[in-house]
C-alpha cells in the first residue's frame, strides 16, 4: 500500500489574496448542490438559463446599469486587441446586456436565470469575500406589481426549498429621496454627505445637512420598520405627486407579499439606497434572523440607462446563504474491491451508491475502506457497514 506524505507542505506557497479561498471537497459539493436546486426552481417557472463570460470589454461591462459597478471592477488589458477589459463584479448587468442585445428579438416577458462567480475589488462591509457566487433570475418586460411579486416570491420559494428559515424581506424605494429633494430644489448628486447620512440613518447629521428638507427626511427615516406601521406614517406626509405614486406601489407590493405568505416578515425602508444605485423602481433585500449580511437582493431597473425597457430580478449570495443553512453532510460511500467487474459497479451506482473503487488487491478490505473514508464496503457481493 503506498504511503502518503502528510507533511505540512511549507515549501510550496499556499497563501491566497485577502477575500479568496479554496473550496474543499465537502463544502464545494454542498455549494454546487444548492446552486443546482435554485436554478432548477427557476427553470420550473419558465426561466431559461444564460451564461455570460467572466470577462468583457470595459465599455460593454460598465455601460448602463453596469456603471454603478465601476469602482468594484478588476481591470486588465486584452493582449490581443489592446483594449481594456473588466472582470465582472455583478452578473445582473451582464444579463441586462444579453437581454437588450442578443435576445432583443425575443418576445416579452423574457425570463432568464444564471449562476456564476464574480470578483470585487473591495469586500462588502458585512462580508470579507471578494470572490462571490451569485445565483439569480430576471423578468424582462412588464413594469407592474405582478412582475415585482413574481420575482420576489420566486426568490423566497427558492430560499425556502434549500432550507433557509426565519426570513424577512426589506423593501426600499431608491428613487423616493431624490424625487423629494428635487421638489425642494436640492441636488442629491451634489450632496454626497447627506446621502451618506441617510444611509447611516444618522438623524442628527441629516438635520444638520438637509436644511428645509430635514423634517421630511427624518419622517421618512422614521417610517422604516414593519410595513403596516411604516405606511401609516408615510400616508400622513405631504409629498410630491411622483413620490406618492412610489409610496402607493410600495404599499401594494408589501400588502400582496404579506397576503401570499405568512412565512416572510415584510419591512420597509423608504430611504435605503446602498447597493441600489441603478434601480429606478422598488428594491428589496432578503435576510435570515441571526445571519450576518443579506441572503440576496433585487429590484427594478432599466436595461440600458434611460431606455424604456424595464427588468425586475433578484440575486442570491451563496456565501451568506450557506451560513444560513445546515452544514454539508458526509455522504455514504461504498468501497468496491478491484476484482469487482464493471457491470456490478454500474448496478451499484444506478441504485444510488457512491462507489470508491480499489486500484490494487488488498488483504483487509474493511481496513482499506476505513482508510479511504468509506462508510460501507463490498465483500462477496454483500454490502457491509464499517
Average pLDDT of the chain, as a whole number: 92
| Helix ranges (DSSP H) in the chain | 25-44, 58-61, 92-100, 145-161, 176-183, 192-200, 203-209, 214-222, 227-235, 241-260, 318-324, 342-350, 365-371
Task: Find, among 116, 126, 128, 124, the residue nearest to 20 by Cα.
Answer: 128
pLDDT value, residue 6: 58
∠ CA 88-90-94, nearest 5°, is 75
| Average pLDDT of the residues in 237-258 | 97
Supply the pLDDT for residue 8. Answer: 58
Query: Is the model's pLDDT at 185 over the cut of 90?
Result: no
What's the pLDDT at 13?
A: 80
Q: Would the pLDDT of 226 be above 60?
A: yes
- What confidence tier does 3 reach under pLDDT thresholds 50, 70, 90? low
d(CA 93, CA 277): 12
pLDDT band, residue 5 (cuts 50/70/90):
low
Q: What is the pLDDT of residue 126?
A: 73
Q: Which of 6-10, 154-158, 195-199, 375-379 has the lowest mean pLDDT?
A: 6-10
**Phi, psi (rounded to 5 degrees) for 378:** -100, 125
pLDDT score at 192: 82
List of residues 6+ apart from 367 with CB closer than 8 A:
none
Q: Residue range 359-385: average pLDDT?
A: 95
Segment among 205-209, 254-258, 273-277, 294-298 with least mean pLDDT: 273-277
Tell me if the pTM is above 0.85. yes
* pLDDT on residue 247: 97
Residue 378: pLDDT above 90?
yes
The pLDDT value given to residue 186 = 83
Confidence (pLDDT) at 313? 98
Bridge partners of 87, per DSSP, are 55, 74
Burial class (CB in 10 A: 0-12, 13-18, 19+), 254: buried
The pLDDT value recorded for residue 66 is: 83
In this prediction, residue 10 carries a pLDDT of: 57
Query: CA angle, corner 52, sides to 49 and 57, nearest 5?
Result: 165
pLDDT at 128: 87
Q: Which of 151-155, 212-216, 224-228 is least confident?
A: 212-216
Section 102-117 average pLDDT: 97
Q: Give me the residue label for grid cell 505540512.
A: 8
Please report, rounded to a whole number, the percentage of residues in the chain having pLDDT higher than 70. 95
Task: Please report, rounded to a whole number, the percentage of residues in the chain having pLDDT higher than 90.
Answer: 81
Distance CA 170, CA 226 (A): 9
pLDDT at 113: 98
Provide mean pLDDT across the span 174-196: 86
DSSP letter for 295, please: S
The average pLDDT across 99-115 equals: 96
pLDDT tens for 296-328 read 999 999 987 545 689 999 999 999 999 999 999
Give pLDDT, residue 4. 56
Distance CA 94, CA 120 (A): 15
Amino acid at each position: 500500500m503506498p504511503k502518503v506524505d502528510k507533511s505540512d507542505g511549507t515549501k510550496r506557497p499556499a497563501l491566497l489574496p485577502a477575500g479568496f479561498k479554496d473550496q474543499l471537497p465537502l463544502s464545494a459539493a454542498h455549494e454546487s448542490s444548492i446552486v443546482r436546486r435554485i436554478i432548477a426552481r427557476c427553470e420550473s417557472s419558465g426561466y431559461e438559463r444564460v451564461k455570460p463570460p467572466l470577462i468583457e470589454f470595459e465599455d460593454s461591462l460598465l455601460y448602463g446599469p453596469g456603471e454603478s459597478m465601476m469602482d468594484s471592477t478588476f481591470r486588465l488589458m486584452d493582449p490581443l486587441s489592446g483594449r481594456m477589459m473588466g472582470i465582472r463584479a455583478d452578473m445582473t448587468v451582464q444579463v441586462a446586456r444579453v437581454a437588450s442585445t442578443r435576445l432583443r428579438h425575443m418576445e416579452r416577458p423574457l425570463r432568464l436565470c444564471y449562476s456564476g462567480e464574480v470578483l470585487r475589488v473591495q469586500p462588502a462591509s458585512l462580508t470579507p469575500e471578494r470572490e462571490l457566487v451569485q445565483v439569480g433570475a430576471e423578468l424582462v418586460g412588464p413594469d407592474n406589481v405582478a412582475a415585482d411579486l413574481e420575482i420576489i416570491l420566486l426568490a423566497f420559494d427558492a430560499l425556502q426549498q434549500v432550507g433557509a428559515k426565519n426570513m424577512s424581506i426589506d423593501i426600499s424605494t431608491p428613487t423616493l429621496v431624490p424625487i423629494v429633494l428635487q421638489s425642494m430644489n436640492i441636488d442629491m448628486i451634489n450632496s454626497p454627505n447627506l446621502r451618506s447620512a441617510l444611509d447611516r440613518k444618522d438623524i442628527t447629521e441629516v438635520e444638520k445637512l438637509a436644511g428645509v428638507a430635514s423634517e421630511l427626511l427624518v419622517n421618512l427615516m422614521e417610517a422604516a420598520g414593519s410595513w403596516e406601521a411604516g405606511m401609516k406614517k408615510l400616508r400622513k406626509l405631504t409629498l410630491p405627486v411622483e413620490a406618492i405614486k412610489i409610496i402607493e406601489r410600495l404599499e401594494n407590493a408589501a400588502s400582496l407579499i404579506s397576503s401570499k405568505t405568512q412565512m416572510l416578515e415584510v419591512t420597509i425602508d423608504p430611504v435605503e439606497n446602498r447597493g441600489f444605485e441603478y434601480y429606478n423602481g422598488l428594491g428589496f433585500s432578503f435576510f435570515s434572523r441571526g445571519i450576518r449580511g443579506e441572503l440576496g437582493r433585487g429590484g427594478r431597473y432599466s436595461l440600458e440607462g434611460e431606455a424604456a425597457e424595464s427588468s425586475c430580478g433578484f440575486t442570491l449570495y451563496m456565501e451568506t446563504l450557506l451560513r444560513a443553512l445546515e452544514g454539508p453532510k458526509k455522504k455514504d460511500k461504498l468501497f468496491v474491491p478491484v476484482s469487482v467487474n464493471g457491470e456490478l459497479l454500474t448496478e451499484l451506482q444506478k441504485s444510488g451508491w457512491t462507489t470508491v473503487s480499489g486500484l490494487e488487491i488488498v488483504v483487509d478490505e474493511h481496513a482499506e475502506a476505513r482508510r479511504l473514508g468509506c462508510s460501507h464496503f463490498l465483500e462477496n457481493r454483500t454490502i457491509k457497514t464499517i
